[in-house]
Structure 1
Amino acid sequence: MVKDAHDSARNINPAKLPEYARVYRGWARHPYSMMFGLDETFDGVVFTGYHSAAQMPGNPLSHTMNTQNNFVKVNGMLAPELMLNSLIASSLGVPVYCVCGDRGLCEWMNEINPNIATVPINEGIGAGALTLHPDVAVRRIRETVSAAIATKKKEDCMFPMSDKYHLEINFKEHFKAYEGGFYPGAKQTGSRTIEFECTDWLDAMRFLHFVL
């Protein structure tokens, strides 16, 4: 299954996909967000077109979920969308075989779990990016993903989970933190900051879904 997960989520031309592929377009308004449709029956996940988190310098488009926040942190770490989505996969017992995106994000994943294959496609430099030729990028992605699926063990490609999660959102506007502080279990800890703790990652995504 292919999940179109950028902006309108109607970017991918289904006619360009293999006939056996299914594609989910648009937004289900489910807490899984970009990962809607994933369940325990899937053999693995491949992420393409991913970018660094808000506050990370690896991409001129760095952000986390939207542009209304300065940063999102999970257990004190700046959280890219890749982290949120990889934790969804792990919570369902699904491995991440490959990540394709900007160099900074790929290096971040290499530090988290070096067994997960990465393909850096571009490198953010200031307000621009240095990129590969599209044909070269496609070839590298195809070769890397094929090799990862063929050679890597499922248990080696799981994104690490925690026993509990502490989430922190710093908004650009103070009233967003005020509003989010009314979410059950959330606490406003600063004029633009709210925090939330849980032990189930679905609860974390539910919090982000309604507050972020």
Structure 2
Amino acid sequence: MKIYISADMEGLPGERHWSDVNKGEKGYKRSLKEMTAEVSLVCKTLLKNGVGSITVRDSHGTAKNLNDLDLPDAVQLVSGWTDNLYGMMEFVSRSYNGAIFIGYHAPAGSKHNPLGHFYTTKAWRVKLNGEPLSELRLNTYIAAQEGVPVLCVMGDEDVCREAKNLIKGVMTIESWSQKSLTSGNKTLGLQIRKAVSAGLKLKPNIPKLPKHYDLEVEYHFSRDMRKVIGIKGIRVIKRAGNTVFFRANSLNNLLRTINSVL
């Protein structure tokens, strides 16, 4: 069995300020310790359940946070960003039996998680087909395009609620509101082991991809809005203030648009 893990940071326990998740700032070391602990525990649980191959995609910030020396030997770590369209899901393919998301968070404009965003902090709000677009939703669609079911999601309240609505039967752990795993929180550790083990036994459920992709981006600043007008290959439908409406005819075209305008 082969499992793909995408790991972020803003949905981990205790993350409340940008200084907690920005490399070099005061809270980052603690957050990295927590990220490493959760990813490592998930990997060990997978291996204990007979999974033979695990890929971990470092998906936070520079994507150079996790150290492969801190993870089990059987884990392949993907670090750094390339021009690959799949981004936080780089190298996911039909060869994987399932995906797990760790440290995921609410989309931009969230009232619950102050670190809610989509890809960057340029946008105040991002919507797809009229609904808030989260990294969870986009990455679930990428996995779906490759025929890979999402088995388990760990993060804040909003992202867990969205996961349950988007992916039938998915296991979720609302870890953001709990005490740190590294503080000796045995309850969270037990929840993670149970959810991951149960997720491996799920009947795979893969959401259907949308029939169309209308992207709406509301920028914080007009200078960022103006930069995206006229980009070659990007279809702009209309503008309204600092909001730009784009249209894509496929998931890959949507990914190209997102990579160009955010």
Q: CA–CA distance in 2 between the matches of 1:94 and 1:204?
A: 19
Q: CA–CA distance in 1 between the matches of 2:112 and 2:200?
A: 27
Per-residue deviation, 1:170: 0.6
Letter in structure 2 aligned against 1:132? K
2:166 aligns with one of 99, 112, 115: 112
Per-residue deviation, 1:114: 3.8
1:97 aligns with one of 141, 151, 154: 151
2:237 aligns with one of 182, 187, 190: 187
Q: CA–CA distance in 2 between the matches of 1:105 and 1:137?
A: 17
Residue deviations 1:49-75 (CA, integer Å, cap 9, x gap): 011011122312111111110011011
Q: CA–CA distance in 2 between the matches of 1:178 and 1:142?
A: 47
Q: CA–CA distance in 2 between the matches of 1:159 and 1:65?
A: 22
Aligned residues: 202
Judge conservation of contact 1:178–1:188 (CA < 8 Å) in 2: no
Letter in structure 2 aligned against 1:119? I
What are structure 1's unaligned runs of at least 5 residues?
A: 124-130
Q: CA–CA distance in 1 between the matches of 2:189 and 2:90?
A: 25
Q: Give TM-score, length-normalised by structure 1.
A: 0.89
Return structure 1 stretches of 4+ with deviation > 6 angstroms: none
2:248 aligns with one of 198, 209, 212: 198
1:172 aligns with one of 220, 223, 227: 220
Q: Give TM-score, length-normalised by structure 2.
A: 0.73
What is the SS of the residue equivalent to 2:176? strand
* RMSD between aligned residues: 1.5
Percentage of pairs with the same residue:
29
Is residue 51 of structure 1 aligned with residue 105 of structure 2? yes
Judge conservation of contact 1:53–1:79 (CA < 8 Å) in 2: yes
What are structure 2's unaligned runs of at least 5 residues?
A: 1-54
What is the SS of the residue equivalent to 1:15? helix
Judge conservation of contact 1:106–1:119 (CA < 8 Å) in 2: yes
